[in-house]
């Protein structure tokens, strides 16, 4: 699935972050606990390289607890990285977060050497909700839609502890095919930039692999159905039928995606660390092959080399 959703504000955010990072002590990257690998932005990794990093697997209330444990182990084994799982709307974990930041940057204390923390991540992952939880009031605007925060904003948590909220950013080229579908299913991509039926079919395939019992419980789906047939069953079950009793697959796709996002199918994680590692190496091979083909086509004079003016951004 080709996703081209890198609006202008994301491009500006990338530039602003590259500047801001120079005066930041700890980077908190929010990942979606349902898709930790796919929600890790390689572009942010590049910008924040070398900074102490705290990874938060957010929306853990919607994710599969066993898989979340696996991901936490995976991240906590990496040097210079700490990982915690939380639900950004609860208040209690804030103390754990502060403690983790202080552990990662122990010399930052007091007004003369304040702790400066940057919160970043993909759109709609819960950055502003987390800030509100930490600050203790509705200071930042939040919403169940990608692209709510449009510019960087500073919040004072307490004397000598500053937090920066940033707009969610994606990256211009998603090389892992599954990641595109998972990001779309989770709500990280603007709704006009993907095809709901295509995403729903992939979501059904993924759910049939990992959680067949949840599909049976929610929609009465039997094992062994093709994804198209499964979508038809969902349409009929929910009364989504068009004239002539034809199942309305578009409506069924919207229902499935909506119910996945809200957690009403069950606590689901779409990927494990091992699965994601395999997809990523496959994606890298395919990307290398694509670049090679492109280079050969340029050499043979079939296409002209890409000429992207500096500062250009794809936008929808």
Ligand X SMILES: Nc1nc2c(ncn2[C@@H]2O[C@H](COP(=O)(O)OP(=O)(O)OP(=O)(O)O)[C@@H](O)[C@H]2O)c(=O)[nH]1
Q: Considering CB distances under 5 to 8 angstroms, the limit depending on partner class, which of ligand X, Mg ion, none binds residue 124? A: ligand X
Contact positions vs ligand X (CB under 6 A): 58-59, 61-62, 87-89, 121, 123-129, 142-144, 146-149, 167-168
| Closest residue to ligand X: CB criterion | 168
Q: Residues 67, 89: contact at Cβ < 8 Å? A: no
Residue number with CB closer to Mg ion (146 or 204) = 146
Q: Considering CB distances under 5 to 8 angstroms, the limit depending on partner class, which of Mg ion, ligand X, none binds residue 61? A: ligand X
**Nearest approach, Cβ of 153 to Mg ion (angstroms)?**
9
Residue number with CB closer to ligand X (52 or 123) = 123
Rounded to whole angstroms, the Cα distance separating 46 from 167 reads 17
Q: Considering CB distances under 5 to 8 angstroms, the limit depending on partner class, which of Mg ion, ligand X, none binds residue 129? A: ligand X
Residue number with CB closer to ligand X (83 or 252) = 83
Rounded to whole angstroms, the Cα distance separating 240 from 68 reads 34
Q: Considering CB distances under 5 to 8 angstroms, the limit depending on partner class, which of Mg ion, ligand X, none binds residue 39? A: none
Match 């959680």 to its residue by tokens.
Answer: 211
Give the dihedral sign, CA 37/40/45/50: negative
Strands of 26-32's sheet, edge to edge?
81-86, 53-58, 26-32, 115-121, 161-165, 153-158
Contact positions vs Mg ion (CB under 5 A): 127-128, 148-149
DSSP secondary-structure letter at 80? T
**Nearest approach, Cβ of 121 to ligand X (angstroms)?**
6
**Nearest approach, Cβ of 90 to ligand X (angstroms)?**
8
**Rg from Cα positions in the chain:** 21
Q: Considering CB distances under 5 to 8 angstroms, the limit depending on partner class, which of Mg ion, ligand X, none binds residue 59? A: ligand X
Q: Residues 29, 40: contact at Cβ < 8 Å? A: yes
Q: Residues 104, 54: contact at Cβ < 8 Å? A: yes
**Nearest approach, Cβ of 188 to ligand X (angstroms)?**
8
**Nearest approach, Cβ of 58 to ligand X (angstroms)?**
5
Rounded to whole angstroms, the Cα distance separating 228 from 207 reads 14
Residue number with CB closer to ligand X (218 or 267) = 267
């Amino acid at each position: 699935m080709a996703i081209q959703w890198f609006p202008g504000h994301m491009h500006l955010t990338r530039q602003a972050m590259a500047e801001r990072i120079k005066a930041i002590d700890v980077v908190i990257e929010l990942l979606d606990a349902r898709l930790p690998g796919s929600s890790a932005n390689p572009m942010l990794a590049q910008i924040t390289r070398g900074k102490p990093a705290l990874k938060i697997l957010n929306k853990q209330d919607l994710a599969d607890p066993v898989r979340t444990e696996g991901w936490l182990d995976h991240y906590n084994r990496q040097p210079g990285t700490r990982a915690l799982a939380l639900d950004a709307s609860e208040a209690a974990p804030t103390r754990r977060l502060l403690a983790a930041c202080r552990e990662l940057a122990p010399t930052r204390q007091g007004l003369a050497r304040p702790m400066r923390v940057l919160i970043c991540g993909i759109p709609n992952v819960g950055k502003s909700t987390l800030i509100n939880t930490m600050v203790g009031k509705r200071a930042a605007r939040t919403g169940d839609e990608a692209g709510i925060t449009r510019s960087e904003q500073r919040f004072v948590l307490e004397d000598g502890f500053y937090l920066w909220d940033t707009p969610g950013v994606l990256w211009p080229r998603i090389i892992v095919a599954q990641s595109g579908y998972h990001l779309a299913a989770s709500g990280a991509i603007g709704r006009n930039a993907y095809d709901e039926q295509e995403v729903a079919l992939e979501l059904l395939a993924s759910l049939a692999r990992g959680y067949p019992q949840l599909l049976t419980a929610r929609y009465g789906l039997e094992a062994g159905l093709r994804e198209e047939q499964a979508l038809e069953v969902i349409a009929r079950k929910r009364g989504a039928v068009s004239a002539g009793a034809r199942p309305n697959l578009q409506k069924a796709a919207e229902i499935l995606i909506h119910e996945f996002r809200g957690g009403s199918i069950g606590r689901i994680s779409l990927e494990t660390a091992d699965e994601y590692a395999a997809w990523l190496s496959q994606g890298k091979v395919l990307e290398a092959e694509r670049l090679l083909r492109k280079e050969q086509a340029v050499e043979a004079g079939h296409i002209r080399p890409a000429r992207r003016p500096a500062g250009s951004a794809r936008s929808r």
